[in-house]
Chain A
Amino acid sequence: MKFKLLLMILIFNFSLLHGAEKVVDQNTIHKNLRCLICQGQSIADSNSDFAQTIKLVVKDLIEDGRSEDEIYSFMADKYGEWIVFKPQLNKHNFMLWFLPYLALILGGIIIFLILKKRRNL
């Protein structure tokens, strides 16, 4: 009985997780796409003609079964990385992604060396 209950919970959780993966939130995508003809607005915030067209295309792509990342790639392919608020890691922006971690590691090393020196004094 316990085994059956456990199995049911597992199946239920798996289907929930699997279902959650498939849902592509249109609003999230709109918020992550830049309106190219507006001043710092996302597609979600803008009522411009361009934003309305992009919303229609996003809707079509979702209906075609494209994932969120595929939609961002499609838009970046047509309009360049600039259209995506959170650009994907590439050779042009890798410094932007790794510099904070590098600074953190270097800072840690410097602090460690200072502390070590003080201890030795």
Chain B
Amino acid sequence: MQKIIKISIPIILIFIIVVLFIGLNKDTNYNTNSLIGKKISKINLKHYNENKFYKVDDLKKNKYTLINFWASWCAPCRAEHSLLIELSKEKNLKLLGVNFKDKKRQADVFLNELGNPYDFLTKDKMGKNAVNLGVYGIPESILVDKNLTILKKFVGPLSSKDFNSIIEIIN
């Protein structure tokens, strides 16, 4: 009996130390990396100007698509815009802009001022479509291939490092 207790106490202590060590070293920042590798099953985005919808089948036509959620009221969207303009010059990549919970007049001013990098422009007035893609704040960009697989997700404004990684993937 004494022997069992003598063995079990150090085992329990080691177990607690290991659990605490793993727990304290774990990155607790929330991210949506779990979505990478998954397929997009549904999108139903209304065109920005027309009464049409951009759907999953439309994504299949592009080799690579970068879905970018933006709004005129979002300051970091301004910061990443020059990189989107650069990305729009890439042949293998199509840019799908999603104007998120925005007013059309202000969104038009934003695009007139900074340029329109998008091959397809849609809007998500209520933000419901963003939930289908695991978006929880903007700007957010999602790189998908023609098989609708999410290759990469960029939370926050695109950086030059993100830009380079996109270029690397699509070429």
Q: Tell me whether A80 and B32 are in contact (CB under 8 A).
A: yes
Tell me the smallest distance from the CB of B51 to a CB of chain A, in Å: 21
List residues 100-143 of chain B with CB under 8 A from any CB of chain A: 101, 126-128, 130-134, 136-137
Given contacts A78-B35, A80-B34, A114-B1, are A36 and B128 in contact (CB under 8 A)?
no
A-B contact count (CB 8 A): 42
Tell me the smallest distance from the CB of A51 to a CB of chain B, in Å: 10
Secondary structure at chain A's binding surface: helix, strand, loop or mixed?
Answer: helix
Tell me the smallest distance from the CB of A24 to a CB of chain B, in Å: 18
Complex: A77 Cα to B37 Cα, angstroms: 12
Tell me the smallest distance from the CB of A71 to a CB of chain B, in Å: 12
**Does A5 sit within 8 A of B, measured CB to CB?**
no
Complex: A55 Cα to B134 Cα, angstroms: 15
Q: Indicate the member of A36, A53, A60, A110 with the most B CB atoms within 10 Å.
A: A53
Range class of the A interface residue count: 10 to 19
Contacts of B126 in A (CB 8 A): 53, 56
Range class of the B interface residue count: 20 to 34
Given contacts A78-B35, A113-B1, are A57 and B136 in contact (CB under 8 A)?
no
Which B residues are within 8 Å of any A CB, using their own CB? 1, 4-5, 8, 30, 32, 34-35, 38, 101, 126-128, 130-134, 136-137
Given contacts A79-B134, A110-B8, 17 further A-B contacts (CB under 8 A): A36-B30, A49-B127, A50-B136, A53-B128, A53-B130, A56-B126, A57-B128, A78-B132, A78-B134, A79-B32, A80-B30, A80-B32, A80-B34, A110-B4, A113-B4, A114-B1, A117-B1
What are 16 A-B pairs at a CB distance below 8 A?
Answer: A37-B136, A37-B137, A50-B137, A53-B127, A56-B128, A57-B128, A78-B131, A78-B132, A78-B133, A79-B32, A79-B136, A80-B35, A106-B8, A110-B8, A114-B1, A117-B1
